[in-house]
Structure formats: structure tokens, C-alpha cells
Chain A
Amino acid sequence: MYAQLVKSEGLKSREDMSPEERDFQDRVDNGEKIEPKDWMPEGYRKTLIRQIGQHAHSEIVGQLPEGNWITRAPTLERKAILLAKVQDEAGHGLYLYSAAETLGVSRDELLEKLHSGKMKYSSIFNYPTLNWADIGAVGWLVDGAAIMNQVPLQRTSFGPYSRAMIRICKEESFHQRQGYAIMMKMAAGTPEQKDMAQDALNRFWFPSLMMFGPSDKDSVHSAQSMAWKIKMNTNDELRQKFVNETVPQADYLGLKVPDDKLAWNEDKQGYDFSEPDWSEFFEVIKGNGPCNRERLNARVKAWDDGAWFREGLNAYADKAADRRKAAAVAAE
């Protein structure tokens, strides 16, 4: 998902737990929220920092493929809408970095790890947005897939993460709908526009399915994260749900999901579908996707180019504080 392949501990059995760990697990099982100052297992803290950090990075790197089209949106209204959407994503990044910070890591540290390649962001943002239809496909499919993952995470055990998710989910539905509205317009447009919409779907379908990560139904890491309620569903469950909801939406557009094996399965009340090419996924994660280098360079450049500004505001704040101090002394 926005956090793919998050490393965690193996699942600990109840007998192996310390008394504190057992109390902690009981609280989680009872649906209590864990707050930053509460005792928590070190593995819980570390896994959460990795997961929330990766999620935050995805939000801000995710601004890049869409930001690419703000200046080229077809109308002023579309431009304003896209700008608002991309601005929301900056906010999502901020909510999530703040949640991670409550676990004792600073935002600058997390950004440093993103910029040095030590931390990852979602594989999906390493694909290019080649034309306006891609902006429709991203909102519809990428934000749609993100919603699948984020809605259950509103119930996650860690209070600050849960609250960030609630805030984010309130805003995501606008993202998906504006994307789908673009697709509706394109699909109902000229034959060339409809072809562009189909082409965008063709290119974004499998990368969107990859967002959920490879199957983890047998993974001990996922089992531990699920016991801690920092992961609410298996990757396969969420992927299936996404396919089930998205195929009828493609049908409505008169577009074809690019999968010959796609078929309704009456028994499971869901679609059968082809797995994405997981070797491609691992290549993208390793840094060899179409846009990995470009995305990371853009991030690092934005950070470096903004340094003088962050410094300047610090200097101004320090001076203003000195001036206030001097004024207070003079008044005495």
C-alpha cells in the first residue's frame, strides 16, 4: 500500500511475552487506543515509525506526478481542483509526519532517510503521468486504492495514527471523485480522448494492484502487525476488494480493464484476476522504476532549494524574540 513491505518482528506468542507485553496486547485486543506516552513494545514503536514514515513519504512524493500537470490542466477550474488536491496531499504528509514524531523521531530525520534512500515510498509514484487522462486515472485508481487501505486504518491501535487517518479519509473521497470525473469526461469525449482514457487505464491498472504489496497471507511480519492492529487486513483482501469495486466503475466508463483473465466468480462473490508482474514491482522498489531517480532528485532539490528560506525564517524569529526581550528589559 502506501506503506509496502514494512519490516516488522515475527509474531510473538503469548507465552513468550513479558507481563508488560501481555498487558499491552490485552489493551490492543480490547480496542483501547495506545497513546504516545504509554508503554509499548520496542518493536511496535519501530514498526510504526517505519510504516507511518513510509506513508508520509508517499503522500509528499505523490504530489510530484500530479504537480506535473497543474500548469497544463485543460481549464482554469480543473487547475484549481488539481491544485487543491495536491495541496491536500501535502497536508496528509504533515499529519502523518506529526503522528510519527510522537514516537520520538523528528521530521527532519525522516526526511533525511527518504532523501538518502534509506526509507521508501509507494512504488506507484515511480510511474510517469504522460497526459491529462493519467491525472484522471491517478485520482480514480491510486487514490481509490489508497482509500481501501486507509479506511480500515482509522481503527488502528495507535491513537495519533488513527486520528491522522480519520482526517485523511475525510479528504480522500474528493480526490477519487475528481479523478473519476476526469475519466468520465474523457471517456465520453472524442474517440481520441476515449483512447487516451483507455491507455491511462492500461498503464495504471497493474501498478495500482501492486500498491497493496505482494501476498502476505503467510507472512509472520504481517501476522505481528495485525496482532498489534497497525495492519487491519491482508494485502490480498484489500486487493480483491479494490478489484471488486473498480471493475464496475470501468464498465460504466465503457473502458476495458487490461486483464484477459478477469471474470466474475459467483462462488467467491468477487472477480478472478491476474496478479501483477511482481518482478517489476521488486525492480521499482529497488530503485529501477521509470521515474525513481527523477522523483528522488526532485524531492532533494526542493529540500535543498528551500534551505535558505527555512533558515531565513528562523533568523527572523530569533531576531524578533531578541527584540521582544530588549523591549521588556527597557520597560522595566
Chain B
Amino acid sequence: MADVQFRFRDDEPVADPAVTVDAFGDQTNASAVRLEPGDDAAALIPHLERLRLVEVNFPVWTDGRGYSAARTLREAGYTGELRAVGDVLIDQLNQMRRCGFDSFAPSHELDADDAAAAFARWPHVYQATGDGRPAIWALRHAQ
């Protein structure tokens, strides 16, 4: 299991191992779950209050289903840790963050300077994605 390389939270990391969605349904005390690309994130919505960590796996970064999974969870009110794992690369860090991920465990360690530049890349954003950043249209019509 790769280490968490970037984390944008102050709370203590969850120690429990993340279980599969199927196992999570059976283990009523589990607080960490791992979503694969084909899993339906909405299935977790009834269990949000006991969830503290959701890992979303990107087996290959070109499979973008995990982005929708992340937003679905955040839009449903999930506030726990949302971790991108697997084929997490420099050039996807920013868009992952925008979709609600707040921790990152890339399978290969990333260059820290390149990653910092990537997280800081965009001065503004065009869309409202629930990540707290105001869209450009909101800034234009602020007053």
C-alpha cells in the first residue's frame, strides 16, 4: 500500500484498512472503504455518518470515473477524508483536488516541487465544483 504523500486535513488519519464496497456493507463497524472505478459511490450515501475515509482507486489515470465518484460523495455531504490512490500523477492533482479529494497516495512518489506547482497552477476556476473556490462567473458578478 502506497503512502499518503499529500494531505490537506488537520485531523488524525484513519488507521483502519479500507475495505471493499461489498465488505463495507457487511461490516457495520468499518469506517474506511475503497471504491473501484466501477463501484457506485451513491451506494455509500446511506452510511456517510460512520465513514471517515474513502479511498478512490485510479488503476489508470485515464479512467476518470473516480472524479464523478468524488463529487457525488461531497455533494451528498461527506466531510471525511477522500483519498485518491493508484495512478495519481502530477498533472491530475489539481483536478482531483477540485473534485473534492483531500489526500493523495500515488503509487509512485511524485516530485514535490512539481506537485506544489501543480496544486497552485490555476489562478481562478471556471466551474463551481463545491471545493470552496468561487467560479469566475461568481467573481464577475460579486457585487
A and B: partners? no
Q: Which residues of A contact B (CB under 8 A)?
A: none
**B residues within 8 Å of A by Cβ?**
none
